[in-house]
Chain A
Amino acid sequence: MPIAFVRSTGRISGNNVDSVGGNFGALPAAGNAITVETSAWNGSNADMPAGSVTDNQSNTYSRAVQSPLQSGGVCSIFYDESIGSPSGTHTVTVDPTGTGNYLEFSAQEWSSFASSALDKTNGNNAASDSPTSGSTGTLSQADELVIGVVGTYNGHSDVGIDPPSGYTNLSLFQNEGSTVGHSADYMIVSATTAQNISWGTVFDNLVPWGACVATFKAAGGGGGGDTLMGQACL
């Protein structure tokens, strides 16, 4: 069964803060997955180690991937593939290292994650006008969720991130002078083709950026393309 988007917190941001958080407008369902995509910068080099993402429901979020540090900024993807039964209000908090943080994030609920869902990841960084995630390599199965994040860490009020073609945008913020430039995007794929996400051409070739991608397997996703082809030949 393919993974399906259920709901998002929407964009959550903080300028010169210790940590930020926000809630889902309705409670996620027990057993569903939650992913959290972040971009953060601070003057002492931002970092999002394990434990940087928490919620008020005692779920544990693992870091799928973090981009290499670029000019004080990093982006990352965290996830919990099967949350417990939430009650009250479900609030997600992001707390990078340091206290003077400039960050953007959003969290999403998904259905039909496999157990041990994390498949492929990649992190990338540079100072250039063409942020890309780098390739995931061939996916392990056909039905997967691909999530990409880019963060930019300069001062442009409109850095010009282009949400990647074929992907659905989850959160977009262009004013890196206010916090950080940020785009989080997803695509649900039905083939094992390697993914390399491009966010177009940004302001100029001096923009420092970090980007990362993670793929998650759907429950009952079967094998890769070769296996399916082999079955067809029987």
Chain B
Amino acid sequence: MKKILALLTAIFISTASADTVIRQIPSRIFQPGTYQQTSDRVPVNSTGLRITLTREAWPEGSVGRIEIWFSIDDGLTFPFMRFANLAGGTAFKKDGSVDTTSSIEMEWPQVATGPTSRQVLRGSDVKAVFIVTQALRTGITIETLDP
């Protein structure tokens, strides 16, 4: 019975979240510098990518930047980019609680294939870049956005 319950729980948990964690970097101190992660192929059934950082007593002021780059030619060029500049200090959610994470998302771009049609490109190369300007502690989660 316990095994059945555990199985049901696992199924529930796996279906309750629509997105898939593909890389998790445990919390540690990042010194100023540039950190990069490249994936040869993003899952073909995903619609985008989310990068989430935990904010662990980040210092005030600008602390860095996260970027997501997307290639449509097997990594030769990365013409599509999203970025977020990050600042330390305390930020609050709409319910008034302290928000302990920051994140950005990139939906896979729709590329023109004719005068009126566009298609979503999937299964292409993607890279994530984390630029740190002040030493900070964070954990990083990279997830695909799933339909």
Contacts and interface: CB of A to CB of B under 8 A. Distances in A.
Given A20-B83, A41-B94, A13 B105 contact: yes
Contacts of A10: 107, 109-110
A210 B105 CA distance: 23
Contacts of B55: 16
Contacts of A19: 84-85
Is the interface on chain A under 10, 10 to 19, 20 to 34, or 35 or more residues? 20 to 34
A7 B82 contact: no
Contact of A25 (B79, B89, B90): B79
A42 B81 CA distance: 24
Interface residues of B, number: 31
B102 A16 contact: yes
A234 to B, nearest CB: 37
Nearest to B63: A18
A133 B123 CA distance: 39
Given A10-B110, A11-B107, A89-B79, A18 B84 contact: yes
A19 B82 CA distance: 11
A22 B101 contact: no
A23 interface: yes
B91 interface: yes
A163 B79 CA distance: 29
A102 B101 CA distance: 12
A15 B93 CA distance: 10
Nearest to B100: A16
A2 to B, nearest CB: 15
A26 B81 CA distance: 12
Interface of B: 55, 62, 79-87, 89-96, 99, 101-107, 109-112
List the 9 shortest-distance A-B pairs measured between CB atoms, nearest first. A100-B91, A99-B87, A43-B92, A17-B84, A18-B87, A16-B102, A14-B84, A15-B103, A18-B85
